[in-house]
Each structure stands twice: as C-alpha cells, then as structure tokens.
Amino acid sequence: MQPRTDLLIAGGPIWTGRPEQPWVEALAVRDGKIAAAGALSRVREVSAPGAEQLDLRGRAVLPAFHDSHCHPVGGGLQQRSCDLEGARSPGECQERVRAHLASHPDLGWVVGKGWSMELFPRGTPDRHLLDQVTAGRPAYLTNRDGHSAWVNSAALRLAGIETATPDPPHGRIERDEGGNPQGTLHEGAMELVERLVPRPTAAESLAALRQAQSHLHSLGIAGWQDAMVDPENEAAYVALAGAGELTARVRLALWWEREAGLEQVEELALRRRRLAEAGLDAGSVKIMLDGVLETFTAALLEPYVPLPGGPPPGHRGHLFLDPEMAAAATSALHRNDFQVHFHAIGDRAVRVALDAVASAAEGGGRDLRHHIAHIQLVDPADLHRFHQLQVVANMQPFWACHEPQMDDLTIPFLGAARSPHQYPFRDLVDLGAVLAGGSDWPVSSANPLAEIAVATTRRAPADAEGGPPPLPAFLPEQRLPLTTALSAFTAGSAYVNHLEHLSGTLEAGKAADLVVLAQDPFTIPADRLPEARVEITMVDGRVVFHRDWG
C-alpha cells in the first residue's frame, strides 16, 4: 500500500461537491485528511511544512467516486473467463468461445459472461450455435445482465433438461417450436445448470477481487457496495483485507435466500459480526424482488403487451417474494439494524419494496438508508414515496437510452403508455429523493463518467469518430444536470454506505478521497465525458492508482 503523503494540490479546477463552496483553488492534505480547501494563499498557510506540491497543470480534481451497486468478484472473474462483452454478432460470440478454448485446452466446462440479447432472435441464443464451437464440452454463458444463461446440448444433457422438464419456480426454459429446450435459461431455470458448473477456487476468487479493485481504482472509484455477497465472495474479501491489500471503502450486501425464511436473519447477523472482526462492513442485505423486462420476468402492475415472440396474454412477470414475505423480511432486517438493498426493475416490484419499507418503519425509525436499485419502471403514483419513506433511489443510468435492448425488447412489450415511466431520475430528484449512482458492473461499464454521460444526455456514450450518428435522447425530460449526476456518484453513494462524514465531498476534516482527471468534466461536451481520463485516484490520502503524466 502506498504511504500517505502530505500534499498541497493546486494548478487546476477543483470541484468540491459542496453546494455552498463548489470550487476552490487549492487543497491541503495532511495525515490522510483534507486540512484545508479554499483560496491558494490560505491553503498554503495551513499546508504541512515540507508538503509535496502537486501541480495539476490544468487537470481537474473531484471527490473520488463511489459505486452503490456493483459485483467486483464477478467482474474480475469475467475478465479472466470467456468474456463476450461487446461482441457484435452471434459469429463473434462463437469466435470468442473458440479462441477461449484454444488458449485453455484443458477446460472441462466453458464458462463466461457478457453476451447481449439483441444479437439473437427474441433475445434468446440457440444451443446449436454453441455446439458448433465447444467440441462436446458443456457450456454455461450468462448474458450481460446476469438474468439469462446460454447453454449447449452437453450442458442440457448433464442437467437432465428435456422436453418434458417443467419450468422451475421463478424461471423459464426457452423452447423451440417442438417444445424442446432451445438453449436459453431465464432466472430460476439457470440454477438447473449453474449448480453443475465448477465453482471458482478460493485462489481464483481472491485473484478476481484483486484485479477488480485495481480496475475500479483506475476509474477513480474509492469505494463501493458489493450487491451480492455469498460465502465464497465473502472469503475473498476477508483474505484481501487480512493481507492488508483492501484499499477501497467497501460495504457488503449479504444475499437473502428467497427459498429460506425469516430464520436466516440470525445467520446473517452472525456473518455480519464475523466480518466486522475482519474489519469489513456487512451492514446491508440484498433482496431480489423480480427479474428484468427483456425476458418478461420483471414484475408489473399490469400485464405485458402480448405481441408475437412475447409472453402470453395476462403475463405480469415474476415476483420472487410475495408482498407479505417481502414486508416480513424487511421488518426483521430493519429490527436487526440491517440496511435493505432491493433489486426492483418492474413497477410492481418497486411498489412492493416501498410497501415493505413503510411496514418496517412502523416498528421504529432507524437511520438505515434502505435503497432500491435499478428503478427502471416506476409508477408515477410511487415517485413521491422515495422521499416520504427516506428510501434512496439507487440508479444505474447506463441503460437509460435508446439502444436495441430498449427499442426492440422492452418498449414494444411495455407499450406507449408505460414506456415513459422508465428511469425517472429527474422526477425523483424534483420530488426530493436522494440519488445514489451505481454501475451494476460487470452488467455494464464500471466507468462512472460513462454512467454520468448517459444520466445527463439520455443517449448512449458517443462512439469513436466515424461511427453511426447518435440516436435521439430517451425521455429527455429526465436528464440530470451534471452537478446532480456527479453528486449521485460521489456524495449520494457515500451516503448509502454511511460514509458521508468521511468521503463524497472535498472539505476540511474529511478523508483525502479524490480523483484527478485529465479534462475538466464541466468544460467538455457531456457525451464525451468518458474521455476525461483518470490520472490519479487517492483513498485516505494514499495513491491507489497513478497514470504516468508524461
């Protein structure tokens, strides 16, 4: 770990994130904390004797970012497995599988992640495409949102999935016209094959977390909330912390087993205590309420539009916990001082989450900062309840734009009346909700500046010059001002993790958690924000990432 260095930072724009003093000329850093922020002349007086001078040479300083919802171990494992992220055709997916096998000839299983649904008819890839390139090895490849898996014939045989196999609870086996398993499994059906896939070893999970932390620091991220921590991921964090290598500020969201009951709260509390002894904060519990809209597994108040290739008439998705159980679980966790981290995509799931928090609050107020992640579809009648119930709106803005998954697999099945209720970020802010920013990496880019670009433009991040012209903004009335979007990924996410006293803004007394960018994000076009390259990331006064300035 890099030692702390006393610094005087000046020579470029410094955005503090504080509404009362958004810009300062200089920062003094002493013993890992910000000793002063303000005019250069005053900060120089406060600066420690012999402090190093960091001349920004026009570069910009911001509070370091926090990610309120990501999966670092999964992200690190994806980078080390068969990575299909960014593949632009079924053929390219096949080529990546073939290349992965060629470089790992001893693999028993082909495991990977990241394929995009829009590449395949109805968003569901066929097993025969994998059969052609896997040489008889079983294959299990999850899509970029992790809610569907592409498997080959060998994997289906090993799992005993046949024509007569019924759909499991909360899941669906895609079938061809003859009723045979087609090769795509959704939600609960994924477990039929996933349970057979060799688990990563402890060493592999630790290496993945180490690699993920380096990647996130390189994007200016000082801390995060891990949105799904099982015992294997937990062990990786304990090992990294025990080795003195955990340099990020982390809150762990322990996984709520939806097939178990309230008796698991005691075990969760025991795990929290054990992790606290290892110096880790496991004060959050993740409750998965529904699936995703593209596979018709997100829970809706009214049925999906029954178009060809879509769900049957009257289908309203899947609610993974019934409202009564969701309320009972939330109340039990609330009484035990756990923050609840909900996954809710559909408007029915969002309402169930809000109702559950309202029920829990009747048992006594606690400053736990329950939050709802994704909030893709929110009924207008529920928007004000985020502020009313002090529920944080945990947004992942990267998908709030026109792109094939939205235009081909979502909007037609929601219909014209409901589609405008998607990702209502500006409405939530205007009604007083606290916004926190997360990426859901590796589902989408971990780069907070890419997420902020979409939040402020409602367009996909710009391609390189010569690419296709950008599509129109998606629901442009929901665009966020740059300061609001930046605050969501700094102060807002720090607030969710109960770190606002320590991080999220640059002011005297707080930790020196900051990022140096090559460009000032306030002076470049919003769609070019991802190009504002991170040069330095600092956590608690220590440099955890540094790029050679040349």
* Residue-wise pLDDT tens digits, 333-365: 999 999 999 999 999 999 999 999 999 998 777
Yes or no: say if 392 and 492 are a contact pair by the CB < 8 Å rule: yes
As a whole number of angstroms, the distance between CA 96 and CA 188 comes to 27
- CATH code: domain 109-194 is 3.10.310.70
The stretch 437-448 carries a mean pLDDT of 94
Domain boundaries, the chain: 7-64+509-546, 109-194, 202-496
Question: pLDDT for 495-504, tens place per residue?
Answer: 999 999 999 9
The CA-atom distances, in angstroms, between 251 and each of 230, 283, 494 are 13, 7, 10
What confidence category does residue 2 fall into, taking pLDDT thresholds of 50, 70 and 90?
low
Q: Which two tokens stand for residue 136?
A: 């008889």
The CA-atom distances, in angstroms, between 191 and each of 73, 80, 83, 197, 374 are 19, 22, 20, 10, 23
pTM of the model: 0.89
What confidence category does residue 1 fall into, taking pLDDT thresholds of 50, 70 and 90?
low
**Any bridge partners for residue 26, and if so which?**
10, 38
Q: Please determine whether the domains at 7-64+509-546 and 109-194 fall in the same fold group of CATH.
A: no
Compute how many other C-beta atoms are within 10 angstroms of the C-beta atom of residue 6. Answer: 18
Question: pLDDT for 60-73, tens place per residue?
Answer: 999 999 999 999 99
H or E stretch covering 12: strand 7-15
Question: pLDDT for 86-122, tens place per residue?
Answer: 898 999 999 999 999 888 888 789 898 889 888 998 8
Cis peptide before 442 (omega within 30 of 0): yes
What number of CA atoms fall less than 13 Å from residue 405's CA on the CB side?
19
Pick the range with the lowest mean pLDDT from 80-94, 399-413, 487-501, 529-543: 80-94
Question: What pLDDT does 105 receive?
Answer: 83
pLDDT more than 70, % of the chain: 98
The beta strand positions in 384-477, using DSSP E, are: 392-395, 435-437
Asked whether residue 38 carries a pLDDT value surpassing 80, the answer given is yes
Q: Which fold has domain 202-496?
A: TIM Barrel (3.20.20)
Q: Which fold has domain 7-64+509-546?
A: Urease, subunit C; domain 1 (2.30.40)
Asked whether residue 464 carries a pLDDT value surpassing 50, the answer given is no
